[in-house]
Structure 1
Amino acid sequence: MSQPANFSAEHASRLRLMAFDVDGVLTNGDLYFTPNGDEIKVFSSLDGHGLKMLQEAGVIVAIITGRKSAMVERRAENLGIRHLYQGVHDKRAVMRELRTSLDLASEHTGYMGDDVVDLPILRACGFSATVADGHEFVREHVDYIATKGGGRGAVREVCDFILSAQGKLEPMLRQYLQT
């Protein structure tokens, strides 16, 4: 069971860097291959806008993933995500290096993953999150469990949660009401 929401919000309020896994988080985890062997991934536009809003609010966004895909590179470029790490076997080590290069303490970092291989990095960050359909064991060890599944708005939900915890969500949303 995750911590109470106020515990999670306290951790999310301190974030200056939020990193995400891809398969099962930014996508639903299904792997599609064409007859030529090309990989196809489906991303949520809701999640994409949430990532852009995080960046606009001053939170650095990174992708740290175990697989390597040209589709992920294209998506990161499209969203303006400069910190992209693919084909990573030790995600915690990459986070440590990124944190050091950005001069951030671990309590100012967060990660969203969905499977047990993500637990070392999830536990090394000040804020951890998973998707509703993440592995049960992972859901037992994170600060925040999204109500939505991977690739289906879970990332947007977490982005909104972080922005809300930092007092930035409502002002950002209000700008869309102005004519």
Structure 2
Amino acid sequence: MPHYPDALLQRAAKIRLVGFDVDGTLTDGRLHYASDGHETKSFHVQDGMGLVLLREAGIELALVSARISPLVAARGSELKIAHVHVGERSKLACMQRIAAGMGIGMDAVAFMGDDLPDLATLRAAGLAIAPANAHPWALAAAHWVAPRNGGEGAARDACDLILQAQGRLEGILAHGEHP
């Protein structure tokens, strides 16, 4: 298991809600369009498993995208994520609304983002996370940078950090299969 600094583990131990930007975080950030104009996206299966493990551990999840994409809604539905928001002009306001509805402050919120539209949310989150290939502005705002790139397992790295900080990873590993 990776070794994390104590201050990072303390931040991650408080998290009750995790929000993820989509393009560049859960995907590699490339936009693919078919000849008929339909968009396609690739999601990493390990990221999906990490999100399921967080959800099953009782941590609320949110997908928050500035772009409008039915693919994001479909992926959120497949993973049983209650908070899927597309076309969000202010990701910070969206995350604040979800947190307020849960009765928690932003110190109990983690957010993973990779570029300018994510900066305000990263700066306000109790735990700000960026994928390794995030824009330098997002990297500077992050409390922790995942070792992998967006769309290549970075979200799973974030999920594993939070699960470890909350003492849940050992039980998952002992079970040895999807709960």
- Sort the TM-score into its range (normalised by shorter chain): over 0.9
Determine whether 1:86 maps to 2:115. Answer: no
What are structure 1's unaligned runs of at least 5 residues?
none
Residue 141 of structure 1: aligned partner: 141
TM-score norm. by structure 1 comes to 0.94
The within-5 A match list for 1:1-179 is 5-176=5-176
How far the C-alpha of 1:6 sits from its partner, in A, is: 2.0
| 2:119–2:137 contact (8 Å) kept in structure 1 | no
The runs of at least 4 consecutive aligned structure 1 residues that moved more than 4 Å come to none
RMSD value over aligned CA atoms? 1.1
**1 CA distance for matches of 2:69 and 2:117?**
19
**2 CA distance for matches of 1:50 and 1:173?**
13
| 1:19–1:61 contact (8 Å) kept in structure 2 | yes
Aligned length: 174
Identity within the alignment, %: 37
**1 CA distance for matches of 2:35 and 2:5?**
45
How far the C-alpha of 1:92 sits from its partner, in A, is: 0.7
**2 CA distance for matches of 1:60 and 1:109?**
9
**2 CA distance for matches of 1:42 and 1:57?**
25
**Which amino acid in the other structure matches residue 166 of structure 2?**
Q
**Which amino acid in the other structure matches residue 168 of structure 1?**
R
Structure 1, residues 26-64: CA drift from partner, whole Å, max 9, x if none?
000000001111110000000000000001111101111
**Which amino acid in the other structure matches residue 137 of structure 2?**
F
| 1:109–1:127 contact (8 Å) kept in structure 2 | yes
Higher normalized contact order (CA 8 Å, seq sep 6+, divided by chain length): 1
Greater CA drift, 42-51 or 62-71 = 62-71
TM-score norm. by structure 2 comes to 0.94
What are structure 2's unaligned runs of at least 5 residues?
none
**Which amino acid in the other structure matches residue 134 of structure 1?**
A
